[in-house]
């Protein structure tokens, strides 16, 4: 029997069933979670292994959708009980949102385990989960070439010590601008980036929503705009789609250089722009690699100084 091909990229994060209300539409019981968006986005570029947990109520259609993206589900745990559920409402600007209800369910006892075929993965994305769980994943991985981690205000407030340990062990930290200010105490993102880089990572990407993202490294600063859209139907998971597209594209490049990092940001931005055009993974499920490349070329042309 031939040995199973290892995953190129491993994503560890949440899997949820969401109810989302925008000023124009409401969708109930749709697939969500950081691992769902990141894995789907990365799958356009690399073989992806998913690590997460779902309950016994997880719909078979959603599991089939994961397989449609070609995801390796060996790391997907199924526990007796209900899947993590989240309900949120977006304001008219489609940027601000309110959490109405969070039910952790089986996610409350989630302990990520890397299957044997994931242990040698060269690229790992630690999505927004508890820093203690992120550290647990890092203790299992053998020698990854590149580890990327996301975080949020909750962990900055409640698990700062573990979070700092994570930051000191990863190659790239990604967080939004308010989280960067909160974690460092600096109002200037440039000053905040210096503090973050001193914590250990080689790269920091600060996400700015519809205004794109900024890469900071010891080599300098790089601005990546978001692709301009006429309509946004559901911004949920945009940051995770960006991260997944980024690490998938970086893995496919075979290199970890400043140029490769910047190029991967382009693809992350493009995949995220497609994801927000519909609810859940609906738009990504119909997306082709050719469409991604066409939009990447268009965005690159928009940025060219004539």
> The domain that contains 58 carries what CATH number?
3.40.1190.20
pLDDT digits (tens, 9 = 90+) for 222-235: 999 999 999 899 99
2 pLDDT exceeds 60? no
Short-list 295, 212, 248, CA closest to 38: 248
1 pLDDT exceeds 60? no
**Rg of the Cα atoms in the chain:** 18
pLDDT for 27: 96
In a domain? residue 4: no
**Residue 3 binned pLDDT confidence (cut-offs 50, 70, 90):** low
pLDDT digits (tens, 9 = 90+) for 159-190: 999 999 999 999 999 999 999 999 999 999 99
Average pLDDT of the chain is: 95
% of the chain exceeding 90 in pLDDT: 92
69 pLDDT exceeds 90? yes
In a domain? residue 40: yes
pLDDT digits (tens, 9 = 90+) for 257-303: 999 999 999 999 999 999 999 999 999 999 999 999 999 999 999 99
User: What residues make up the domain containing 181?
Assistant: 9-303
4 pLDDT exceeds 80? no
In a domain? residue 297: yes
CA separation for the pair 181, 282 (Å, rounded): 33
pLDDT digits (tens, 9 = 90+) for 91-100: 888 778 899 9
Average pLDDT for 94-122: 92
In a domain? residue 2: no
In a domain? residue 3: no
Average pLDDT for 110-138: 96
pTM of the model: 0.95
In a domain? residue 178: yes
In a domain? residue 1: no
Average pLDDT for 193-201: 97
Query: How many distinct structural domains can be found in the chain?
Result: 1
In a domain? residue 86: yes
201 pLDDT exceeds 50? yes
% of the chain exceeding 70 in pLDDT: 99
**Measured on CA atoms in the order 223, 124, 29, 109, is the torsion positive or negative?**
negative
What ranges make up the beta strands (E) of the chain?
Answer: 9-12, 16-21, 26-32, 48-55, 76-79, 84-90, 97-103, 123-126, 146-150, 172-176, 203-207, 213-217, 220-224
Average pLDDT for 60-80: 97
pLDDT for 209: 86
């Amino acid at each position: 029997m031939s040995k199973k091909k290892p995953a190129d990229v491993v994503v560890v994060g949440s899997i949820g069933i969401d109810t989302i209300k925008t000023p124009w539409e409401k969708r109930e019981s749709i697939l969500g979670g950081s691992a769902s968006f990141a894995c789907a986005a990365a799958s356009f570029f690399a073989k992806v292994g998913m690590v997460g947990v779902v309950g016994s109520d997880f719909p078979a259609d959603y599991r089939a959708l994961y397989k449609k993206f070609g995801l390796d589900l060996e790391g997907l745990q199924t526990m007796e009980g209900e899947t993590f559920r989240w309900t949120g409402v977006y304001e008219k600007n489609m940027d601000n949102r309110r959490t109405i209800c969070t039910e952790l369910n089986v996610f409350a006892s989630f302990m990520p385990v890397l299957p044997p075929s994931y242990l040698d993965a060269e690229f790992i994305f630690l999505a927004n989960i508890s820093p203690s769980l992120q550290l647990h994943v890092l203790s299992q991985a053998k020698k990854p070439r590149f580890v990327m981690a996301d975080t949020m205000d909750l962990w900055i407030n409640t698990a700062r010590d573990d979070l700092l340990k994570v930051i000191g062990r990863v190659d790239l930290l990604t967080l939004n601008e308010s989280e960067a200010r909160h974690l460092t105490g600096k109002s200037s993102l440039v000053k905040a980036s210096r503090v973050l880089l001193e914590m250990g990572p080689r790269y920091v990407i600060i996400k700015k929503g519809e205004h794109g993202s900024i890469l900071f490294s010891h080599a300098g600063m790089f601005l990546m705009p978001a692709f301009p859209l006429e309509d946004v139907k559901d911004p949920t998971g945009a940051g995770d789609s960006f991260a997944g597209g980024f690490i998938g594209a970086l893995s496919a490049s075979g290199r970890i250089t400043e140029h490769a990092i910047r190029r991967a940001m382009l693809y992350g931005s493009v995949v995220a722009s497609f994801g927000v055009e519909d609810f859940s993974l609906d738009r990504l499920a119909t997306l082709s690699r050719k469409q991604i490349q066409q939009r990447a070329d268009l965005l690159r042309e928009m940025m060219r100084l004539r």
